[in-house]
Structure formats: structure tokens, C-alpha cells
Amino acid sequence: MDAQEIYASLDKLFPGKVSDLKAEVFEPYLNVDKDAIVEICRFLRSAPGFKFEVLSDLTALDWPKEEKIQVVYHLFSYAHNHQIVLKVDLARDNPKVATVENVWKVANWFEREVYDLFGVIFEGHSDLRRIMLPEDWVGFPLRKDYVEQEEYDGISTQRAPLVEKLLR
């Protein structure tokens, strides 16, 4: 099934919840209303003809100019060998979206990573902790305006260039 058809059926079943289909790009994507993401994912996963059994990837993009953080879902179906990309726009100052952990189990870890590096809160997540960075790390490194703290736990995060060190 191609992106046009997927978009058309979603638009019929969830009126007003999907928008902005970009079909002419390499990988067509569509925007999903953040309140409907779980419903739509559950539908796409199990409805015959769609059968998106796997969540290939879940990540986020930071757009400071538009004041938004986008969560990007890459869905894939082994049964039909087709894929679709869903995007959810969140307010940058308070990014919150419901978890899709109950649809695909792998979302648990993907969402933890997005929380860790972007600070997106996934509501209803069973274990939302940092995964890559220490629990007491300050800030979300993959945001565009991230400034690294000067030291962590008494250890400097900066290092003088090697040449300077040798000349000293």
C-alpha cells in the first residue's frame, strides 16, 4: 500500500487527526495529532492490509525556530513490505506525548533514549529513566541549544587541545 492510500484511509477513520501528507519525498511522511498517536499506531499495527508489525525506529528532531520538537515514528511491515513515517509535533517548552510501549514493546527503549537526549516526556511509560547518560546529568544533549556543563561530578568535561598540553 502506498502512502496516498494509507493517508486516505486514516483520514476517513480518524478525521482531523492526520494532516500534511508529503508524498513526493523519498520517504513519504504524514503528521499525526498527538492525542491520536496511540490509537492510530494500534490500528496500523493490526488492521488487515496495513499490518505494520514493527516499529523500525523512533526518534526526534529539534526545530528551535518553529518552537517544536518532532517525534518521528518509522513503521514497517514484513507482511506487505511497505513503510510509512509518522510525525508528531510537540511544543518545545513542554514536550509530552503518550507512549506507544503497549503497541510495540521496543518503544520502551526507543522512548527512553528520546527522553534522555531530547527531554520528551512519554506519558504512561513504565520506566522512563535516562538510558545513555547518568541519572544526574543536566540538560538534553541532542537539543540544538544544548550547552554542556563545565564539569560533571568534579571531572572537567573540557580538554585542552593536545598540542597546547605538549607545549606547556
Partner 1 sequence: MSETAPARGFYTEEDMTISVGPQHPSTHGVLRFVVKTDGEVISEAIPDVGYLHRSIEKIGEKVTYHGYVPYTDRADYLAAMFANQAFCMAAEKLAGTDVTRRGEFCRVIACELNRIASHLISVGTFGQDIGAMTPFVHALRERETINNLMEEICGARLTYNYIRIGGVGYDILPETCAKIGEFLNHFEPIVDEFNRLLSGNKIFIERLAGVAVVSKEDAFSYNLVGPNLRGSGVKWDIRRDIPYSVYPELEFDVPVGMAQVGALGDSYDRYWVRIREMQESCKILRQCLQMMPKGPAISKVPKKFRPPAGEYYARVEAPRGDMGFYVVSDGSEYPYRVRIRTGSYTAMSIIDKISKGIMLADLIALIGSLDVDAPEIDR
- Check residue 36 for interaction with partner 1 (CB under 8 A): no
Instruction: Give the Cα separation of 76 and 48 in Å (integer).
Output: 14
Q: Does 109 bind partner 1 (CB under 8 A)?
A: yes
- Among residues 110, 71, 115, 118, the alpha carbon closest in space to that of 90 is found at 71
Minimum Å distance from CB 132 to partner 1? Answer: 4
Residue of 56, 68, 121, 152 that binds partner 1 (CB under 8 A)? 56
Dihedral sign (CA 36, 37, 42, 43): positive
Cβ atoms < 10 Å from Cβ of 78: 10
> Binding partner 1 by CB under 8 A: which of 38, 108, 122, 128?
108
Would strands 68-77 and 82-91 be described as parallel, antiparallel, or unpaired? Answer: antiparallel
What length is written for the chain? 168
Tell me the H-state helices in 47-135: 107-118
Closest to partner 1 by CB, 7 vs 52, is 52
Distance CA 168, CA 24 (A): 57
Interface with partner 1, residue 2, by CB under 8 A: no
Given the rule CB under 8 A, which of 8-16, 32-40, 56-64, 92-100 is the region that contacts partner 1? 56-64
| 132 lies in the binding site for partner 1 (CB under 8 A) | yes
Binding interface with partner 1 (CB under 8 A) = 25-27, 53-57, 59, 61-62, 72, 74, 78, 81, 85, 104-106, 108-109, 113, 117, 130-134, 141-142
